[in-house]
């Protein structure tokens, strides 16, 4: 079988009996077994094969209901902070080792309802806190393009698995760039939907007001297909916005077919380039980015520059908000009800402190402490409330930008994937790496990273940003660029 598979084409091949889901899953399981990338924490071999056999049986029996399922027999990897019934879910942390959720997250239930095969749970930075997948209790994931380098994070396992052909589709989560960063570093497509489009029910929270579940795939069409599947309306999630458009794939596939037949159509969009997002990026990344902008111009886009005055405050505001919410969210992990438990119990305060001291990694402890400080008496107004005001300014800048432009374009990351261990001892350096991605989460707008070339032989990502709930325009722009870039 070939190294990589297209999800939207594969499902048609499975439905037509041209490809066996069981054989495909066996091939992927063998790849995972041979791999030294460490993309997975848990591999669901037996359950995946059983689901694949059910899909093949439905095809043989011409089960019309099953044949209508949009991901029939297609393997999907799930980031290990998303609850999966009967499958260990650890958030890559020692404190949750052995925890098996009694329920599926809404997105996982949606995958199963559409016939997907859950291949396994992917590696990540512990509790999503990191940009390299090096903070995982289960060891770092390696970049398929260069095994001495990081894959990005925190959804590094999902992105590396897609890039290495160890899954067809994958789910990640994005709190400050955790889908787009690894997508850029691994040379795949990563989409952060608008906050409130995809249900967060069953997502183990890091920072509730910032995070979203989204697709990591080989192509924009696959991202649209996976988004259609997971963006179901869910009464269990009060943060989800109901009644907005949630279907994009069919329109994109029609456009793609038309463009393939007639040549990529002119992209009649206004594209803005926020200059602050380009300043200071590595020379190779900047060169690849401006080449991508020129390609957008060739497609007919009207490109102009814009300034974001709030940009210099956004990164600091993001980390104050994210760490404050993490401090609150992670207070529930005491080892008394689930997860890590010490052999000997002492008084409550001692037991609680020892469990958290042994169960959490250094980066998680650092963020809990900083978040607790920001929320403490005397500092709440000085840090947290100011950060919320900056968040309002960031959103205002995006609102103003979208009065002039349909889509914004920036480099996804300021540099390409760096060496394992190179920055892990310098937290500030790692936090600065998120400078181009965190403003999107503060504003809640959708954003996608698509490959746009190489620098020093390593992938560079182009980040496209859209209006709230305007994934249709964003995906159209990304698809046009992807098709033109590959020609």
pLDDT tens-digit readout, 403-424:
999 999 999 999 999 999 999 9
pLDDT at 400: 97
In order, the DSSP letters of 165-193 are: TS-SEEEEEESSSTTHHHHHHHTSEEEEP
Distance CA 61, CA 63 (A): 5
In this predicted model, what pLDDT tens digit does every residue of 48-82 receive, in sequence order?
A: 999 999 999 999 999 999 999 999 999 999 999 99
Residue 307 annotated among the catalytic residues of the structure: no
Checking if the pLDDT of 467 tops 80, the result is yes
The active-site residue out of 83, 154, 199, 327 is 154
Nearest residue to 191 (alpha-carbon basis) of 160, 163, 155: 155
Distance CA 39, CA 124 (A): 8
The ranges assigned to domains in the chain are 7-256
The active-site residue out of 178, 310, 327, 455 is 178
pLDDT at 3: 56
Q: 123 with 141: CB under 8 angstroms? A: yes
Instruction: Tell me the mean pLDDT in the region 30-36.
Output: 98
Residue 447 annotated among the catalytic residues of the structure: no
The active-site residue out of 6, 20, 79, 476 is 79
Mean per-residue pLDDT over the chain, rounded: 95
Q: Which CATH number fits domain 7-256: 1.10.10.10, 3.90.1300.10, 3.30.70.20, 3.10.20.600?
A: 3.90.1300.10
Among 24-28, 130-134, 209-213, 427-431, name the one with the lowest average pLDDT. Answer: 427-431
Instruction: Tell me the mean pLDDT in the region 343-368.
Output: 90
pLDDT at 4: 63
Report the residue count for the chain: 487
In this predicted model, what pLDDT tens digit does every residue of 308-347 receive, in sequence order?
A: 999 999 999 999 999 999 999 999 998 878 888 887 888 8
Cite the beta strand spans of 10-158 per DSSP E: 40-43, 75-79, 117-122
Instruction: Tell me the mean pLDDT in the region 390-415.
Output: 98
pLDDT at 129: 98
| Virtual torsion, Cα 198, 478, 111, 57, nearest 10 deg | 160
In this predicted model, what pLDDT tens digit does every residue of 143-179 receive, in sequence order?
A: 999 999 999 999 999 999 999 999 999 999 999 999 9
pLDDT at 273: 98
- At 317 the three-state DSSP class reads helix
Provide the b/e sequence for 37-52 (b: ≥16 CB within 10 Å): bbbbbbbbbebbbebb
In this predicted model, what pLDDT tens digit does every residue of 246-295 receive, in sequence order?
A: 999 999 999 999 888 777 767 889 999 999 999 999 999 999 999 999 99
pLDDT at 1: 43
Surface-to-core class of residue 268, CB atoms within 10 Å of its CB (0-12 exposed, 13-18 middle, 19+ buried): exposed
Comparing 343 with 3, the larger pLDDT belongs to 343
pLDDT at 335: 81
Checking if the pLDDT of 2 tops 70, the result is no
Surface-to-core class of residue 402, CB atoms within 10 Å of its CB (0-12 exposed, 13-18 middle, 19+ buried): buried
Strands 75-79, 117-122: parallel, antiparallel or unpaired by DSSP?
Answer: parallel
Residue 154 annotated among the catalytic residues of the structure: yes
pLDDT at 156: 98
């Amino acid at each position: 079988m070939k190294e990589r598979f297209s999800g939207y084409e594969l499902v048609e091949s499975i439905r037509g009996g041209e490809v066996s889901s069981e054989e495909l899953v066996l091939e992927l399981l063998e790849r995972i077994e041979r791999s030294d990338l460490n993309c997975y924490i848990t591999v669901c071999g037996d359950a995946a094969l059983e689901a694949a056999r059910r899909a093949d049986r439905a095809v043989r029996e011409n089960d019309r209901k099953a044949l209508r399922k949009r991901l029939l027999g297609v393997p999907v990897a799930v980031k290990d902070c998303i609850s999966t019934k009967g499958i260990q879910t650890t958030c890559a942390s020692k404190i949750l080792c052995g925890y098996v959720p009694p329920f599926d997250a809404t997105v996982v239930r949606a995958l199963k309802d559409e016939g997907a095969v859950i291949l396994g749970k992917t590696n990540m930075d512990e509790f999503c806190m990191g940009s390299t997948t090096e903070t995982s209790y289960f060891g770092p994931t390696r970049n398929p393009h260069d095994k001495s380098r990081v894959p990005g994070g925190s959804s590094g396992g999902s992105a590396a698995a897609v890039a290495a052909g160890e899954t067809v589709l994958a789910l990640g989560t994005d709190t400050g760039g955790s889908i787009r960063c690894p997508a850029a570093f691994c040379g795949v497509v990563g989409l952060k939907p608008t906050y409130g489009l995809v249900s967060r029910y069953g997502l183990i929270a890091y920072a509730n007001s910032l995070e979203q579940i989204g697709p990591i795939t080989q192509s924009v069409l696959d991202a649209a297909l996976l988004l259609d599947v997971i963006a179901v309306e869910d009464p269990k999630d009060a943060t989800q916005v109901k009644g907005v458009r949630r279907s994009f794939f069919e329109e994109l596939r029609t456009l793609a077919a038309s463009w393939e037949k007639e040549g990529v159509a002119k992209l009649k969009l206004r594209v803005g380039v926020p200059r602050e997002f380009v300043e200071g990026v590595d020379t190779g990344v900047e060169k690849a980015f401006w080449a991508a902008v020129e390609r957008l111009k060739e497609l007919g886009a009207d490109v102009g520059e814009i300034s974001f005055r709030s940009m210099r405050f956004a990164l600091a505001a993001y980390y104050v908000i994210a760490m404050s919410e993490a401090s609150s969210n992670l207070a529930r992990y005491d080892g008394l009800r689930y997860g890590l438990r010490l052999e000997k119990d002492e008084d409550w305060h001692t037991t609680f402190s020892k469990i958290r001291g042994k169960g959490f990694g250094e980066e998680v402890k650092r963020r809990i402490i900083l978040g607790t400080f920001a929320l403490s008496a005397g500092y709440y107004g000085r840090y947290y409330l100011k950060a919320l005001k900056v968040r309002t300014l960031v959103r205002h800048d995006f609102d103003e930008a979208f009065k002039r432009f349909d889509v914004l374009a920036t480099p996804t990351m300021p540099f390409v994937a760096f060496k394992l261990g190179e920055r892990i001892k310098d937290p500030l350096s790692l936090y600065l790496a998120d400078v181009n991605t965190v403003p999107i989460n503060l504003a809640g707008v959708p954003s996608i990273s698509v490959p746009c070339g190489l620098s020093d032989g390593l992938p560079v990502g182009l980040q496209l940003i859209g209006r709230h709930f305007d994934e249709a325009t964003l995906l159209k722009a990304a698809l046009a660029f992807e098709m033109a870039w590959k020609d």
